[in-house]
A = this chain, B = another copy of it.
Amino acid sequence: MAIVVQKYGGSSVADAEKIKNVARRIAQAKDKGNDVVAVVSAMGDTTDELVELAYLVTDQPSEREFDVLLSTGEIVSSTLLAMALRTMGYEAISLSGAQAGIRTDAVYSRARIVGVDPVRIVGELDKGRIVIVAGFQGVTEEMDTTTLGRGGSDTTAVALAVSLGAEVCQIYTDVEGVYTADPRLVPEAKKLAEIGYEEMLELASYGAKVMHPRAVELGELFNMPILVASSFTDSPGTLIHGGEAMEVRNKVTSIAHDLDVAKITIVGVPDQPGVAAAIFEPLAKANISVDTIVQNASINNITDLTFTVARSQLRKAMEVVQPICRSIGAGDCLSDAGLGKVSIIGTGMQNTPGFAARMFSALSEQGINIQLISTSEIRITCIIAEDKVKDAVKALHRAFELEE
């Protein structure tokens, strides 16, 4: 019997009616003769409510206790889902992360899965039961509860799919799949039937709204196909996988964007070994994620260095960078908070000329100024003014004929 692992997000189980709906979908998968394991997130706003509760008690909640507190949200939804299935006449049982064998390190609030011991799950499946697993949580060697942080339930699902040898990991959410661009920006955007792991990862923040990169990376590592689909419709969704067919397509598959970009430029940096490290090591230590980094060719051993960070981290980043500017003898340190990012994504881009040129001319036709450019094997990204992002996404969607 094939094992199917499904995951249902918080909006899919937001109330009793939605839980019953999800139960029906799980039952369908069981009726098709599969062994079914369903990973479930906390209901709707439950996690936010628990966070609020903690902050009513203290403004510095213990991380260990916070994790135990938050983990109750997924336990509640998993029991309700198991109850709904039993009422429909299906044998179902809920398991906590600990019972499901999700073993993690002890880094509370963002624990990493170190292994999965699905003995209990296998035992329950052998009894013919549907197994509902509380997502987002695991257990340390000392049997203390941890939470997995962002993307935790997606990651639970992929990890279980891998360890159980499932054929596919199905992620059911409130969108119907991955589109050629964010449908809220580009109404003509089309749903993709399939996408490669790397392309999905390059979708960055738009893609992350569909599925967390961490879970996609795990899927890629173990070559586990991941189906992303809606829990509210029967529409087929998008299959994220690593099949060979993709390698040779040589075309742009989607347009990604990000509205949350701030830029810092250090002017007049002496071009000598160790300077980049002197700047980026303190930023890393301050836990600031640096995104795009661009260094211009140096003239007279003086160069300019520009990098981007999330807008919310700009102030902190400037506080770290300014004293460094002075100590390395750089000229000035400028920042701009009003930026956005637009990317074209597709395989074989670097081997095929013309993609970049078409992108730049499409932007230029809209009168959009490109501030920074960065590229990867399957992505070309331009940093532009935030208020131009929407126009840029639309123009690129047209230019690469994605609506067809």
Contact = CB atoms under 8 A, between A and B. Distances in A.
A146 interface: no
B54 A83 contact: yes
B69 A80 contact: yes
Contacts of A82: 62, 65
A286 interface: no
A312 to B, nearest CB: 25
A143 interface: yes
A117 to B, nearest CB: 13
A94 B76 CA distance: 19
A82 B82 CA distance: 30
Interface string A52-74: 01101111111011101100100
Contacts of A66: 79, 83
A84 interface: yes
A94 B66 CA distance: 10
A203 B318 CA distance: 70
A57 B69 contact: no
A65 B83 contact: yes
Interface string A227-244: 000000000000000000
B58 A83 contact: yes
B86 A62 contact: yes
Interface of A, secondary structure class, is: helix
Nearest to A88: B58
Contact of A76 (B72, B86, B96): B72
Contacts of A53: 16, 76, 80
Interface string A148-181: 0000000000000000000000000000000000
Nearest to A19: B57
Contact of A143 (B58, B59, B64, B99): B99
Interface in A99-150: 99, 143-144
A75 interface: yes
Contacts of A320: none
B79 A94 contact: no
B83 A57 contact: yes
A212 interface: no
A50 interface: yes
Contacts of A76: 50, 53, 69, 72
A87 interface: yes
Contacts of A54: 79-80, 83
A263 interface: no
